[in-house]
Amino acid sequence: MQVKPIKTRVFKERENLEGFIRSHIKTLKEGSVLVVTSKIVGLAEGRTEVIGLRPKDVLVKEESELAIRTKWTWLTLRDGMFVASAGIDESNGNGKYIFLPKDSYKAAANLRTILKKAYGVKNLGVVITDSRTLPLRRGAFGMSLGYAGFKGLRDYRKKPDIFGRPYTMSRAAIADGIAAAAVLAMGEGAERYPLAVVTGLPIEFTERVDRREVLIPLEEDMWRPLFGNLNIKQKKKK
């Protein structure tokens, strides 16, 4: 696997994302995966608000399905994932909060359709990323918010291990693994690498992605006991 981060100029709010990508990536090889940071997707969608216009706590609650105040920040549930402060970011925002894309799977699919034609390729993956943390671990790492063009999981269940014992639970997080590797190369600060091209991946390309394949219902998740007796209910999207 090879990860090539792409240095770019500063992306402007409401700018055409496809044109921006094409101006910095002249060609894409067949079988490539294009990784795009969620920040510029949110900017392209105009998902911003001037800092101070409304309290951040109000914005966090509007953007999340569940919001729990912690010592450092808000622990929130958004799009089936636990994130800090609903993913609202003020870094590199030039006085504005930048929100996560409205629908990262839809954004990835639309981008893939346009870029397949523009670059003349059949097999192309697109991953939209954000940064996450894990309980009891310091540091952020990349995670997929949405993807298109390939299967996000590799299922090892019922296949034998090296001693012939069948796996019962093992599944590899392909989309999240690509995101983690790409974001490591792209950086978490002011590096200005909002794009990356990943090649040499042993993935299965597909025209249809099931956005539910990587999600676990809240009541079945292994971390659920940590929330004690909290009445956690996922809101239905409007």
Average pLDDT of the segment spanning 200-209:
96
- Evaluate if residue 229 carries a pLDDT over 70: no
Average pLDDT of the segment spanning 219-229:
78
pLDDT tens, position by position, 108-121: 999 999 999 999 99
Can you tell me whether residue 74 is helix, strand or coil? strand
- pLDDT for res 80: 87
pTM of the model: 0.92
For the chain, give every domain's residue range.
1-42+101-209, 48-99
pLDDT band at 238 (very low <50, low <70, confident <90, very high): very low
- pLDDT for res 237: 45
- pLDDT for res 170: 86
Give which of 41, 25, 15, 74 is closest to 148, Cα–Cα: 41
pLDDT tens, position by position, 145-195: 999 999 999 888 888 999 999 888 888 999 999 999 999 999 998 899 999
- Evaluate if residue 142 carries a pLDDT over 90: yes
Average pLDDT of the segment spanning 40-49:
98
- pLDDT for res 48: 98
Radius of gyration of the chain (CA): 18
Q: How many CB atoms lie within 10 A of CB 122?
A: 10
CA 76 to chain centre: 16
- Evaluate if residue 234 carries a pLDDT over 60: no
What torsion do the CA atoms of 137, 35, 76, 55 make, to the nearest 10 degrees? 110
% of the chain beyond a pLDDT of 90? 76
- pLDDT for res 157: 86
1-42+101-209 belongs to which homologous superfamily? CofE-like (3.30.1330.100)
- pLDDT for res 228: 67
Token representation of residue 154? 């590799």
pLDDT tens, position by position, 84-95: 999 999 988 899
